[in-house]
Amino acid sequence: MNTTLDLDYIKGIIKNHKENSICGRWIRLSDVEKILSKFEDLSNFSSRIIGVSEESRNIHEVTFGKGPKKILVWTQMHGNESTGTKAVIDLFNYIHKTKDKITLQILSNATIKVIPILNPDGAEYYTRYNANSVDLNRDAVNKDAAESKLLRKVLDDFKPDFCFNLHDQRTIFGVEGENKPSTISFLAPSEESSRKVTDTRIKTMNVICSMNNLLQEIIPGQVGRYSDEFYPSATGDNFQKLGYPTILIESGHFKDDYQREVVRNFTFMSILQGIYHICSVKNFNDYQDYFKIPNNVKIFGDLLHIYPNKENVGYTYEEILEENLIKFIPKMIKEDISNLFFHKEIDFVR
């Protein structure tokens, strides 16, 4: 069964349902809470506070749909990775405002819980970690952080059929065999060090294939497959091991899009396509095309200075929160840059 959404349909809903009140890289709890208030009293939605962070900031859960398939989504596990948050807010707008066969299929076949900003302390300070310097994506076993305990409680209580774990990846990643950035990368996490293809991973790979099919129509050659190296303490790896298919989406770079306002659209498309696919099929056994997605590889720098009489110099950007602004500070690459591509070049020869 072909469940790939129509390309014209996708382009139309992106234009109509983007939430313009949030943009850029620094998305905080206060930004999201202003938006969530409008979904509190809607018939298809419920929004509630399910806990607090280490510094007592609210952690919210938005639920929509009343179907039997259960899907859990969380964003900003790393506080400085906000593209997924913008994308799920756009998804809320779409589900709320659109009444057609696609939304009906989703609402009648799935119950979807979304935690927008799992790590509100990290979001406030624009850092990967929580307030106690814990990487929540490496805290699935010890569960030292309040946020990790909360996510696990939601998982245990809800028992989802599928999970979506939304992250951002650095601009250094490109697609193997291409000179293009890895705009979106997917991963079906491993359950143990041998990287065995288990039943849970097969279901995860199947959904990823459906998302890749759509994106290849829009950004061909710009979708990568993230490394499936096993991390014993990682969230996705452990949720897979527990039998919950967990789809990792890494939002990356698109030309001239350092604020990731274009990439949020591709992230939105991916989530919507994945959810629609889950709601539309009963068999998740086809997975071989997952391994046809090229590897995600480190082949890019951000800025290249080209000189006439000396060696060229390459830079990557370090993102710094300063005076309530995200600044991109060039840091010189000290390694050999001869095999790298660059997102921007300044030619001092001319």
Q: Are residues 41 and 101 in the same domain?
A: yes
Is residue 1 a part of any domain in this protein? no
Q: Are residues 182 and 238 in the same domain?
A: yes
Q: Are residues 69 and 98 in the same domain?
A: yes
Is residue 2 a part of any domain in this protein? no
Residue 228 lies in domain: 7-298
Q: Are residues 240 and 127 in the same domain?
A: yes
State the Cα–Cα distance between residues 235 and 51, nearest whole angstrom.
Answer: 19
Which of the four pLDDT bands, split at 50, 70 and 90, describes residue 1?
A: low
Q: Are residues 250 and 304 in the same domain?
A: no
Which of the four pLDDT bands, split at 50, 70 and 90, describes residue 38?
A: confident
Is residue 124 a part of any domain in this protein? yes
Q: Are residues 127 and 215 in the same domain?
A: yes
Q: Are residues 118 and 48 in the same domain?
A: yes
Is residue 90 a part of any domain in this protein? yes
Q: Give the per-residue pLDDT at 15.
A: 86
* Dihedral sign computed on CA atoms, order 182, 20, 248, 270: negative
Mean pLDDT, the chain, whole residue set: 96
Length of the chain (residues): 350
Is residue 130 a part of any domain in this protein? yes
pLDDT tens sequence across 114-158:
999 999 999 999 999 999 999 999 999 999 999 999 999 999 999
Distance set, CA 113 to CA 98, 135, 205, 264 (Å): 19, 23, 21, 20
Is residue 187 a part of any domain in this protein? yes
Q: Give the per-residue pLDDT at 350.
A: 63
pTM metric for this prediction: 0.97
Q: Are residues 275 and 328 in the same domain?
A: no
Find where tokens 């359950």 sit.
191
State the Cα–Cα distance between residues 87 and 211, nearest whole angstrom.
Answer: 15
Neighbours of 193 (CB within 10 A): 10
Q: Give the per-residue pLDDT at 2.
A: 83
Is residue 263 a part of any domain in this protein? yes
Q: Using N-to-C axis directions, what is the helix angle for 263-280 and 83-97, rounded to 10°?
A: 60
Where residue 41 sits, what CATH number does that domain have? 3.40.630.10
Q: 197: which residues sit within 8 A by CB, 6+ positions away? A: 205, 287
Is residue 15 a part of any domain in this protein? yes
Neighbours of 226 (CB within 10 A): 22
Q: Are residues 45 and 129 in the same domain?
A: yes
Q: Are residues 307 and 196 in the same domain?
A: no
> Would you say residue 344 has pLDDT above 90?
yes
State the Cα–Cα distance between residues 158 and 65, nearest whole angstrom.
Answer: 14
Q: Are residues 213 and 262 in the same domain?
A: yes
Which of the four pLDDT bands, split at 50, 70 and 90, describes residue 41?
A: low
Q: Are residues 180 and 315 in the same domain?
A: no
Count up the domains in the chain and report the number.
Answer: 2
